[in-house]
Structure 1
Amino acid sequence: MDSAPHPRRHWILAVMSLSLLAIVLNNSVLNVAIPQLITDLGATTTEVQWIADVYSLVFAGLLLAAGAVADRFGRKRYTLGGLAVFGLGSVLAAFSDGVTELLVARAVMGLGAAFVMPGTLSIIAQVFHGPERPRAIAVWGGVSALGVAIGPVVGGLLVGSFGWASVFVLNIPLVVVTLAIGLATVPEWRDPAATPVDVPGALLGAVASCALVFAIIEAPAQGWASAPVLGSLVATAAAGVGFAVRMRRAEHPLIDLRVLGSKTFLGASVGNLLVVFGLAATLFVLAQQLQFAFGFSPLESGLGVAPTAVATILASGLAGPVTDRLGTRLAVALGLACSAAGILTIAWADGYGQVLAGLIAVGAGFGVSLAPATDAMLSTVPDERGGMASAMNDTMQELGYALGVAVVGTVFHRLYTGSLADLPEQARLSLAGAAQLSQQDGRPDIAARAAAAFSDAVGLGLTVAAAVVFAGALFALATLPTRLPGRGPSARLPAPDQPQPVAAP
């Protein structure tokens, strides 16, 4: 692959960033629309949960296959095509008049997103080289965090003024503009030695990913020992073993398992998983803490979380210089340790000032660590397999997000409900329910006990998250190299006797 800078690389970075923003923003915006969905569509709590979760299930299940398909048959074609499918799903969602239609629309959106996300990263890695590559990846990571953090703000403004359908209408002009610029600026690329897609491997990978994400989603509500969760974990293990066997025996495997033996890949993938884990855990708890404990409105709570995005963007701009100075190992470890310190600060905060300091630390740690960790993952594979590496990176991030919510949600749920086991269900469901019951029954002790239980649950749940993220910092120190090896076609894990990839006509 030609290592000369692409003349339109900054336009391409803008297109890829806008594509990523659309698919990330959608999930965080949707959370604000849930109350209206319940009212307007008559959806049950379970149905609403699946309206949110079916997107993640389809998305996670198809990531690996999508990355491999794009490598073999055209990254531009499948990335922009995925964006078009995502836009179609958004149109269907905006005009849905029932739960079933909305579920189908969300699944279509997940299908499109599965092809967009790995494509954005592999195309960025394709057109940026040398010191510019980690800086471009830092922009990519900053946009991802921005979408997560500003979602509640954008959602609050849209839903309050235009209703729940507006969160899907928002995607349509974004998709149209991005497609128009992308068709004109993004180069096509494919592997001239394209091999048949490993369909059995893709199916096994999809089953393993979907079953694992399902278990993670359901565990906080049903418990890790419940039949559905245990069944899903068994299915994950069985499909995972089958996938590994298939990858070793297939003539044209979906992914090259040799990459899993790389300490660099292992350290980078765990680092990426855990930095997203920390961000997800923090935002999940803050959504409740700011509203229930500090009395913020939904819009105020969205604005209250926004400093995370600002810190991430600023820190992402420093990720390149920090990595140049300290090296990959210390940059990733420093970012994870900073995030862990921020999470711990939020865990025991008794006012928004401390929360703000913690949010800045979490965002800064995310911004500093994500780019060098992602660049390290990409360095373990040849450029012609960039889609595969990007898909694996995105899968780790998706699992990190799901795990962050699930682990902290489980700890929080157990501690909060366990402390109030002798009170009516209304009090155990939420702090707001406890306050309402306390007022109805004239028992201020109920509200006081619930507030104390809530504070302890937040503190201990986020302390667990901080410990996990800090352990990731130590793991990065033990596994990542100080400097990455030179990159280029087949610089790592070469594909023997294969012609070099070229730009597709």
Structure 2
Amino acid sequence: MRELRTDRGSAGPDPRRWPVLGILSLALFVIILNNGLLHVALPSLMRDLHAGIGLTQWIVDGYALVFAATLLTAGTLSDRYGRKRATLFGVALFGAGSLVALAADGAGQLIAARAVMGVAAAFVMPGTLSILVDVFPEEERPRAIAVWGSTSALGVAAGPVVGGALVQHFWWGSVFLVNLLPVAAVLVAGAVLLPESAAPVPRPADPLGAVLGSAGMVGLVYGAIHAADRGWTSATVLASFGAAGVAGALFVAWERRHPYPMVDFVLLRRPAFLGASVGNMLLFLGLAGTLFVLTQYLQFALGYGPLRAGLAVAPLALAVGLGSAAAPWLARRAGPRGGVAGGLAVTATGIWTLGTVPEGYPGVLSGLCLCGIGVGLALAPATDTVMGLVPPERSGNAAALNDTMQELGNALGVAVVGTVLAHGYSTAAGAAPLSERTGHLFEQAASDGFRVAAALVAAGAVLSGLLLPGPAPTVLSEPDPGKDVEDHRPPGADSARQRTA
């Protein structure tokens, strides 16, 4: 009979917490890396597999969409059977999926392998955050989450660099080689160092809810991707959006009646949660869509090779690190509202810059730096706000819900912004083959994509500015236990931990 620790209780901080953070960050880095690992390989992949932009959107989104669709179920199973077990299982499955993708010789096989990797990543990501919450004390948690968040954003930014280096010297499938060493390291070190924990009263699985929620996401992304070649008002696209709406409505109805819902609707009614999670989703929507367009723009419009294109994106990672370093300072002084809304506003400005500056790399560099700083500023306070609204025993499900919003943003970013790119490109270039289309035409289509991404991120800044609380008051007093006060307190406040979601 296994024994799972469910609460640290009065025990002191886990002495292994910083090495544990290193393991969790490495696991998170490799699964987030794969969101963008194929971006600079897309031109080579399009040539070898005779794929257009629409098919490459599915190759990229096959990972992010399945990732998002299975996160809530994976979070529930993680709380039930143990977060360490779920994380290590996911890492092992991720390695197996990488081996299949490495040997893929067709688009269908590659999409299937990426889907398996998405399922695996869904077991890894919520476990990394819930274990982090469990081992770090309240006062150290914001700094640990800042490291976790910067690792996530660094994975997004590093994907094109690593992929470009490999594609420059090998074939496009070699990008999956980079997964194998981190997978082995996490499996070995995690088996020794990661603590096991689970919810004291685990909830049963909800397969019907999982199917309905997944169907809604798939319909939404399918419609967005195929709008490029069939039009937003075509029967197929409208039917896809309609099916997504029906599945979403049935999901909500079912979850409201279910005794153990996958989604806590009490949490969804809290302004702080909506401001943080939707802001987080739009942040990653803008970032994923921008990188999908930018890595192709650098190669098709500016004539860069894969390695040079990847290196051209590298300053984004440094900028994310700078923003993450400043995030705790800004959140302490401006509260979650200032950190998240301010970071989103800076990100939107950077993406808009990419779409408006004259052709050439100096303008790209300035946009990337602004974008990265904004991502670093917004991500940690958004995540800390979400995790501060639930008790530790519900951390797995809350982490999964937060990660679902983030990965749904990734999938929608590639779908929506990629569709704007594909539509603008095909309209400008007519029926000419891809090889005959000029860089100038691609530049015009890319600018449209950047502007749409910037507008969506700016909408997130407005929403989070309206819904998130400001800085904590300087004079503290005992809260009235009859009032729901934690929505107006900063992340990490004790009262937010003492309530059940």
TM-score relative to the length of structure 2: 0.87
Cα distance, 1:186 vs. partner? 0.8
Partner of 1:442: none
Matched, 1:341 2:349: yes
Partner of 2:333: 325
Matched, 1:286 2:294: yes
Pairwise mapping of residues 408-447 of structure 1 onto structure 2 (< 5 A)?
Answer: 408-418=417-427, 420=428, 424-426=430-432, 433-435=436-438
Distance of aligned partners of 1:138 and 1:223 in 2 relative to their CA distance in 1, 3 Å threshold: farther
Matched, 1:471 2:471: no
- Comparing 310-319 with 201-210, greater Cα deviation is found at 201-210
Amino acid at match of 1:475: L
Partner of 2:181: 173
Cα distance, 1:315 vs. partner? 1.4
Matched, 1:262 2:265: no
Amino acid at match of 1:494: T
1:98 and 1:301 map into 2 onto residues whose CA distance is: 25
Cα distance, 1:102 vs. partner? 3.5
Matched, 1:69 2:116: no
Amino acid at match of 2:112: V
2:13–2:135: 8 Å Cα contact kept in structure 1? yes
Distance of aligned partners of 1:213 and 1:221 in 2 relative to their CA distance in 1, 3 Å threshold: same
Partner of 2:497: 491
1:456 and 1:77 map into 2 onto residues whose CA distance is: 48
Partner of 2:449: 461
1:133 and 1:218 map into 2 onto residues whose CA distance is: 42
Secondary structure of the corresponding residue to residue 253 of structure 1: coil
Amino acid at match of 2:458: F
Matched, 1:117 2:125: yes
Cα distance, 1:66 vs. partner? 0.6
Secondary structure of the corresponding residue to residue 277 of structure 2: helix
Pairwise mapping of residues 7-26 of structure 1 onto structure 2 (< 5 A)?
Answer: 7-26=15-34
1:343–1:466: 8 Å Cα contact kept in structure 2? yes
Secondary structure of the corresponding residue to residue 170 of structure 1: helix
Distance of aligned partners of 1:92 and 1:339 in 2 relative to their CA distance in 1, 3 Å threshold: same
- Comparing 104-113 with 299-308, greater Cα deviation is found at 104-113
Partner of 2:478: none
Gaps of 5+ in 1: 436-449, 496-505
Distance of aligned partners of 1:123 and 1:43 in 2 relative to their CA distance in 1, 3 Å threshold: farther
1:308–1:360: 8 Å Cα contact kept in structure 2? yes
Amino acid at match of 1:392: L
Amino acid at match of 2:154: L
Question: Which of 46, 63, 66 is equivalent to 1:55?
Answer: 63
Amino acid at match of 2:449: G
Partner of 2:391: 382
Partner of 1:135: 143
Cα distance, 1:103 vs. partner? 3.8
Partner of 1:249: 257
Cα distance, 1:360 vs. partner? 0.6
2:61–2:415: 8 Å Cα contact kept in structure 1? no
Distance of aligned partners of 1:408 and 1:52 in 2 relative to their CA distance in 1, 3 Å threshold: closer
2:39–2:291: 8 Å Cα contact kept in structure 1? no
2:44 and 2:303 map into 1 onto residues whose CA distance is: 21
Amino acid at match of 1:2: R
Partner of 2:362: 353
Cα distance, 1:416 vs. partner? 4.3
Cα distance, 1:386 vs. partner? 1.1
Partner of 1:501: none
Residue by residue over 1:289-334, the C-alpha shift from the partner in whole angstroms, topping out at 9 and shown as x without a partner, is: 3233333222212111111111001211221122112211111111
Residue by residue over 1:178-206, the C-alpha shift from the partner in whole angstroms, topping out at 9 and shown as x without a partner, is: 11111111111111212321222222222
Gaps of 5+ in 2: 1-6, 471-488
Cα distance, 1:258 vs. partner? 0.8
Q: CA RMSD, aligned part only?
A: 2.5
Cα distance, 1:147 vs. partner? 1.8
1:204–1:239: 8 Å Cα contact kept in structure 2? yes
Distance of aligned partners of 1:226 and 1:96 in 2 relative to their CA distance in 1, 3 Å threshold: same
Residue by residue over 1:377-396, the C-alpha shift from the partner in whole angstroms, topping out at 9 and shown as x without a partner, is: 11222221111111111111
Question: Which of 368, 376, 381 is equivalent to 1:367?
Answer: 376
Distance of aligned partners of 1:37 and 1:336 in 2 relative to their CA distance in 1, 3 Å threshold: closer
Secondary structure of the corresponding residue to residue 134 of structure 2: helix
Secondary structure of the corresponding residue to residue 201 of structure 2: coil
- Comparing 308-317 with 478-487, greater Cα deviation is found at 478-487
Residue by residue over 1:259-296, the C-alpha shift from the partner in whole angstroms, topping out at 9 and shown as x without a partner, is: 11000001001210121122123222322332333332
Cα distance, 1:47 vs. partner? 5.8
Amino acid at match of 2:224: I
Matched, 1:219 2:227: yes
Matched, 1:82 2:70: no
Secondary structure of the corresponding residue to residue 126 of structure 2: helix
